[in-house]
Amino acid sequence: MSQTFSITYEDTKGYSAISSSMIIFNNTLAAANGCYVFFSPSSNLLYLTNNAGTAWQGPISIGKSATLSNSQCSISGAGSSASGSGNNLTLNLPVTFQTAFAGSKGVYIEVYDGTNDSGWVQISNWTVP
């Protein structure tokens, strides 16, 4: 039930312009009852919403031994990493899904650079066993 996702965000101003990125794993594009992660590249911090999707837990630092959890998933600072090149920022995010969250899920991302916002985009589907 664990998977490390490699998610690449792109910004025409260059990867260093990216001020935040978000990921939602859920049946639909909804924070509630999903695995909703916020990443701040400038501080290398990860956050995870509570079950209702109304409050952030964390932060934890990329690469550090700490975990955030809700009823859908856990994210690990250890094993996570971020790197940039050109216009691309790549986030490697270890996620462990809870058994009760099994089934087909959409993977949605959004990226913001302080001026421009990509809006939410579904980049793939993932089946939680």
pLDDT tens profile 3-31: 999 999 999 999 999 999 999 999 999 99
| pTM, entire model | 0.93
pLDDT at 129: 87
Which residues form the domain of 78?
Answer: 2-128
pLDDT tens profile 49-90: 999 999 999 999 999 999 999 999 999 999 999 999 999 999
State the CATH number of the domain containing residue 110. Answer: 2.60.40
**CA–CA dist 22, 51 (Å, integer):** 16
Give the model's confidence band at 1: pLDDT under 50 very low, under 70 low, under 90 confident, else very high: confident
pLDDT at 71: 97
Looking at the 3D structure of the chain, how many domains does it have?
1
**CA–CA dist 77, 98 (Å, integer):** 17
- Burial code (b: 16+ CB inside 10 Å, e: under 16) for 116-128 equals eebeeeeeeeeeb
pLDDT at 88: 96
